Amino acid sequence: MSADIIDGKAFAAKLRGRVGEAAGAFAEAAGRPAGLAVVLVGEDPASAVYVRSKGKATVAAGMASFEHRLPADTDQATLEALVDQLNADPAVDGILVQLPLPRHLDADAVLLRIDPDKDVDGFHPVNAGRLASGLPGFVPCTPLGCLMLLRDRLGDLSGLEAVVIGRSNIVGKPMAALLTADSATVTLAHSRTRDLPGHVGRADIVVAAVGRPNFVRGEWLKPGATVIDVGINRVEGGLVGDVDFASAVEVAGAITPVPGGVGPMTIAVLLRNTLVAAHRRAG
């Protein structure tokens, strides 16, 4: 048996369409478009590609895109002054500082500086705390996109066994919080986890976010499991996920491909979060 392929690209296109319509209505009512500011420091090629596609998608959805490109040797005070300026700018609803920042910069301090109500990435500790406490706030785009795909595939997640592999602040921890809020029974696994195949073998839902190519093996999976692969690893021959697709597709019930699975969801959710920010700020 071969798993169903979860078409994140098609789901993201639908979401972007819905956000675009709502963004048009917002602009009409507010007399201005919703606005997203994206800050890129330095010339990391992968980050430059992400920032360009975020800008394009923002404009395509009928929102204003403000791109700020700073040289790699920008100092902390200059970057924080830009964040202050964006916090104060009424045309800016969402602020995203592209990570990773050059090593001489303190990313945590920059994220703390962003107004939590403009933090459409959901990386500010206030938003992490809101998520952990079940309060409304901004949720990081990638895990929220994964949750949308899971709900679309499985409906009610309550009582399901979920294993999240990877405990980053950007994906693993918020993913575990979202699944917990949806009443799944969640195991947050990481590099020190003992018997990972044993945990994965009990899971109805597996979310892999470890950044190691083809790490999760099909043989580990419970037959019929739903597998969400957050990994984007560049290897000789192209992009692969954190899940060994060839073996997993034989055991899973459904699986996201790489590319075309989770990746397109991230930008679609970013647009959604920006529109939500615009509505909240407009009162």
User: What residues make contact with ligand GUN under the rule CB under 6 A?
Assistant: 96-99, 121, 141-142, 266
* 191 in a labelled binding site: no
Query: 173 catalytic, yes or no?
Result: no
Comparing CB distances to ligand GUN, the nearer of 141 and 254 is 141
Whichever of 50 and 215 has its CB closer to ligand GUN, that residue is 50
The residue type found at 165 is I
* 114 belongs to an annotated ligand binding site: no
User: Is position 76 annotated as part of the catalytic site?
Assistant: no
Residue bearing tokens 């392929």: 5
Q: Is 183 annotated as a binding residue?
A: no
Query: Is there a binding annotation on residue 167?
Result: yes
Burial 104-113 (b: 16+ CB within 10 A, else e): ebebeebbeb
| 229 sits in which H/E element | strand 226-229
Considering 93, 98, 115, 173, which one is annotated as catalytic?
98
CB of 266 to ligand GUN, least distance (A): 6
Closest separation between CB of residue 199 and ligand GUN, Å? Answer: 26
- CB contact set of 247 (below 8 Å; sequence gap of 6+): 217, 218, 219
Gap between the Cα atoms of 231 and 143, Å rounded: 12
* Set 121, 204, 229, 242: catalytic member: 121
Q: How many CB atoms lie within 10 A of CB 243?
A: 33
Question: Catalytic residue at 121?
Answer: yes
Of 96 and 184, nearer to ligand GUN (C-beta) is 96
Catalytic residues: 54, 98, 121
